[in-house]
């Protein structure tokens, strides 16, 4: 079996050459998270989804660290060094999530997202620089699961 690969870069329209995540949606589009934004690829050309300075609809282009596709709800979860958002590729709607506890607005979590996963019950698990939190997208409730300590589990 011979596999053919095509090299894609910003020359072809990719938002940036440093790709941190690749996902595929149910329409078979490929989505590339880069340091310069999110790109959708249809097999022929790219479409860029990027932040516009005076329009808060799309996340700022701060390093796109992780993306997760939610097949059930047809949403793309976007984690950046500036926060967490969900993006509906059908209509372009985006929801930004303030990483604070609803009951205690003073309790804030790191906005630097390093990992996102969805479990079978629909909870989003978000790894941040300050630890692990869970988010219920329906209610917006955030729970701190594990707080990063100054002392590593590997230190003596």
Per-residue pLDDT tens digits for 52-75: 666 556 665 566 678 888 888 899
Q: In a structure prediction context, what are the per-residue pLDDT tens digits for the chain, which is 156 residues long? A: 998 888 999 999 998 898 989 999 999 999 998 888 889 999 999 998 876 666 556 665 566 678 888 888 899 999 888 888 888 988 888 888 877 655 445 667 778 888 999 999 999 999 988 889 899 988 888 888 877 665 544 333
- In 3D space, the residue among 87, 77, 78, 69 whose CA is nearest the CA of residue 28 turns out to be 69
- Is residue 124 within 8 Å of 108, Cβ to Cβ? no
pTM: 0.80
- Is residue 90 within 8 Å of 74, Cβ to Cβ? yes
The reply to whether CATH 1.10.10.60 applies to domain 19-147 is: no
- Is residue 8 within 8 Å of 41, Cβ to Cβ? yes
Backbone φ and ψ for 10, nearest 5 degrees, come out as -65, -25
């Amino acid at each position: 079996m011979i596999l053919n690969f095509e090299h894609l870069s910003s020359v072809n329209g990719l938002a940036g050459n440093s790709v941190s995540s690749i996902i595929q949606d149910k329409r078979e589009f490929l989505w590339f998270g880069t340091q310069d934004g999110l790109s959708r690829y249809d097999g022929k050309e790219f479409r860029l989804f990027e932040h516009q300075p005076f329009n808060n609809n799309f996340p700022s282009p701060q390093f796109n660290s992780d993306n997760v596709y939610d097949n059930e709800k047809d949403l793309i979860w976007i984690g950046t060094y500036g926060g967490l958002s969900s993006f509906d590729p059908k209509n372009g709607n985006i929801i930004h999530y303030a990483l604070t506890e609803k009951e205690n607005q003073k309790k804030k979590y790191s906005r630097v997202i390093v990992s996102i996963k969805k479990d079978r019950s629909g909870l989003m698990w978000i790894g941040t620089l300050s630890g692990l939190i869970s988010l219920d997208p329906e209610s917006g409730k955030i729970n701190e699961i594990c707080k990063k300590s100054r002392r590593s589990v590997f230190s003596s």
